[in-house]
Chain A
Amino acid sequence: AQKITQTQPGMFVQEKEAVTLDCTYDTSDPSYGLFWYKQPSSGEMIFLIYQGSYDQQNATEGRYSLNFQKARKSANLVISASQLGDSAMYFCAMRVGSSASKIIFGSGTRLSIRP
């Protein structure tokens, strides 16, 4: 069965520190995409970063990078130099297959940045 697991319900991090949010996935399909979304307290879903299963390099977008370890089926989000505005819920998601019709989300991690 296809599944996304986020094992950290909540995290506290000091401002300016780096933080890693864990995500493991399970699929037998060789073609898939992994996504991270941010949901601030205002409720909207904001796309952060994408990693394809065939991508040779880890994805990066500004302060966000994705630590993709295919053999371990993990796709952890790394936020460098955290800011107060990074406080939010973070969701890992997966689209699987050539007709990637179904999309699966993890249960999320609530990140709180301490000043």
Chain B
Amino acid sequence: EAQVTQNPRYLITVTGKKLTVTCSQNMNHEYMSWYRQDPGLGLRQIYYSMNVEVTDKGDVPEGYKVSRKEKRNFPLILESPSPNQTSLYFCASSLGRTSYNEQFFGPGTRLTVL
């Protein structure tokens, strides 16, 4: 089944404790992206990747890191999480990066930072 998977689905952690949220897609998609969803703000793009070893900042990259060593994986790293990073996070992928490529979303990761 074609899908985007994220792990963990739920995570409660404490301020300053490094964490990684994994994202993997099995559709051989070039483009991958991370978003955070906060009430009243919709989804905001954190980082995106147009291919292996090619990543760039979205609108809210502060406090996050990403890497794209393999085409299928695009982990999101929070080196020192803070309470303002409590949010619902989505990973998404699309076949290409043209304006007509729809995105496929993972199930989401709900992160709470205490």
Report which A residues bind B (CB closer than 8 A).
4, 6, 9, 31-33, 35, 37, 43-45, 47, 50, 52-53, 91, 93, 95-108
Contact = CB atoms under 8 A, between A and B. Distances in A.
Contact of A43 (B58, B99, B100, B107): B107
A105 to B, nearest CB: 4
Interface of B: 31, 33, 35, 40-45, 48, 50, 56, 58-59, 88, 90, 92, 97-105, 107-108
Contacts of B33: 103
Contacts of B31: 101
A15 B43 CA distance: 28
Nearest to B49: A101
Given A47-B104, A105-B43, A97 B99 contact: yes
A91 B31 CA distance: 20
